[in-house]
């Protein structure tokens, strides 16, 4: 019970665009409404103030979205989650490069089958995608010709591995920019106050899958907390956008995609790398930290946006990709290697 492909997998022609209609079992959609109607909500914790999220997702916010999901949401009317493909394939300015975009879901997420095999490509990605992409770049540098990231969970520096960057870190009160100091504060807050979910997903994903894979409101609350803490989602997203993103995980059963790659930022990647750093991204680092893990050629910092940058700030995201991928170092890597 769940996703139904409209055509047999064996008949998919991966290099030819084909029409695709979202088709989900009516039984699953009805069950979803029933679970939303039968949801039990915890008492709101008000000791910390009405607008304080220190205890996790606000019950009032989750309940409002759950009622919208139950009474008004229509999967067929959900807005396209990816807001950046059209501006990249058909840029307004004829002088900007146009891209051939491949935007598959991670296997086990959304509606896409496995990505195709290409002889060479560049990529951009965040969160899960970013970890998988870096693993590919480490193992197959001749295939991945350039990468663009918005997160750098580089381990803390040591005096022996990067002496100059380490000393600059020790004197950060005097040597770091305001953006760098704020970024490290956000990272410290994430590591001490918001990363409990990460250890659970890394060590016991199956157990968590029982809870989040069987409770619509539980899954919704899980995401609402992250949307609040990790970006400007409530400024950029409608209720429909939020429920559509949650539905992508609900349909496939959440437990399937909960394991996260590890240690991918402890190995240097040699391919040309660009980075767009957004203020509310949780795993930032200064550029000289990132230089220890990647071949950085492009670095931009933004005071708005967060982990869901391609959805929150598509205008900024789309502007950065042509700037980086059309740079001489990337063109040389792609066409001359």
Structural domain contains residue 319: yes
Distance CA 308, CA 131 (A): 15
Instruction: Give DSSP secondary structure letters for 27-81.
Output: HHHHHHHHHHHT---PPP--TT-TT--TTSS-HHHHHHHHHHHHHT--GGGPPPS
Which residues form the domain of 289?
85-154+261-336
Contacts of 141 (CB under 8 A, 6+ apart): 269, 270, 271
- Output the average pLDDT for the chain: 79
In a domain, 124, yes or no: yes
Asked, for residue 139, whether it belongs to a domain, the answer is: yes
- Compute the distance between CA of residue 238 and CA of residue 60 in angstroms, rounded to an integer: 16
Task: For residue range 27-51, list pLDDT tens digits in order.
Answer: 888 999 999 999 988 888 777 667 7
List the CATH number of the domain containing 109. 3.40.50.1820
Question: Per-residue pLDDT for 59 more than 50?
Answer: yes
Evaluate whether 302 touches 276 at the Cβ level (below 8 Å).
yes
**Per-residue pLDDT at 158:** 83
Report yes or no on 322 lying in a domain: yes
The secondary structure of residue 262, as a DSSP letter, is -
Q: How far apart are CA 261 and CA 247, in angstroms?
A: 23
51 with 61: CB under 8 angstroms?
no
What does the pLDDT look like over 215-238, one tens digit per residue?
999 999 999 988 888 877 777 788
Task: Quote the pTM value.
Answer: 0.68
The answer to the question of residue 125 being in a domain is yes
Domain count, the chain: 1
Q: Which range among 74-88, 102-116, 280-294 shows the weakest confidence by mean pLDDT?
A: 102-116
In a domain? residue 248? no
The answer to whether residue 236 is domain-embedded is no
Q: Measured between alpha carbons, how far is 162 from 314 in angstroms, rounded to an integer?
A: 34
110 is a domain residue:
yes
The dihedrals phi and psi of 61, each to the nearest 5 degrees, come to -70, -45
Nearest-angstrom CA–CA distance, 152 and 154 = 5
pLDDT tens-digit series, residues 289-311: 989 888 999 999 998 888 888 77
Q: Which of 116-130, 139-153, 250-264, 278-292 has the lowest mean pLDDT?
A: 250-264
Gyration radius of the chain's alpha carbons? 21
pLDDT of residue 219: 92
More confident residue, 207 or 192: 192
Confirm if 161 and 292 have CB atoms less than 8 A apart.
yes
């Amino acid at each position: 019970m769940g996703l139904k492909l409209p055509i047999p997998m064996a008949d998919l022609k991966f290099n030819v665009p084909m029409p695709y209609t979202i088709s989900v079992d009516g039984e699953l959609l009805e069950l979803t409404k029933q679970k939303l109607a039968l949801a039990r909500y915890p008492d709101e914790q008000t000791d910390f103030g009405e607008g304080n999220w220190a205890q996790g997702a606000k019950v009032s916010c989750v309940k409002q979205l759950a009622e919208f999901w139950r009474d008004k949401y229509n999967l067929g009317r959900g807005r396209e989650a990816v807001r950046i493909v059209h501006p990249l394939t058909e840029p307004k300015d004829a002088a900007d490069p146009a891209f051939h975009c491949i935007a598959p879901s991670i296997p086990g997420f959304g509606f896409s089958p496995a990505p195709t095999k290409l002889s060479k490509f560049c990529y951009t990605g965040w969160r899960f995608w970013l970890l998988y992409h870096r693993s590919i770049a480490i193992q197959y540098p001749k295939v991945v010709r350039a990468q663009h990231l918005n997160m750098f969970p580089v381990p803390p520096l040591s005096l022996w591995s990067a002496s100059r960057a380490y000393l600059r870190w020790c004197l950060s009160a005097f040597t770091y920019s305001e953006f760098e100091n704020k970024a490290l504060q956000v990272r410290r807050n994430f590591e001490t106050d918001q990363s409990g979910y990460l250890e659970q997903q890394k060590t016991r994903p199956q157990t968590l899958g029982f809870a989040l894979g069987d409770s619509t409101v539980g899954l919704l609350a899980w995401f609402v907390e992250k949307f609040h803490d990790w970006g400007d989602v409530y400024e950029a997203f409608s209720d429909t956008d939020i429920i559509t993103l949650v539905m992508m995980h609900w349909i496939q059963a959440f437990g399937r995609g909960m394991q996260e790659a590890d240690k991918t930022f402890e190995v240097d990647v040699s391919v040309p790398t660009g980075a767009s750093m957004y203020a509310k991204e949780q795993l930032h680092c200064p550029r000289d930290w990132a230089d220890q893990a990647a071949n950085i050629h492009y670095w931009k910092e933004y005071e708005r946006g967060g982990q869901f940058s391609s959805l929150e700030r598509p205008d900024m995201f789309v502007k950065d990709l042509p700037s980086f991928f059309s740079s001489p170092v990337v063109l040389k890597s792609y066409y001359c290697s």
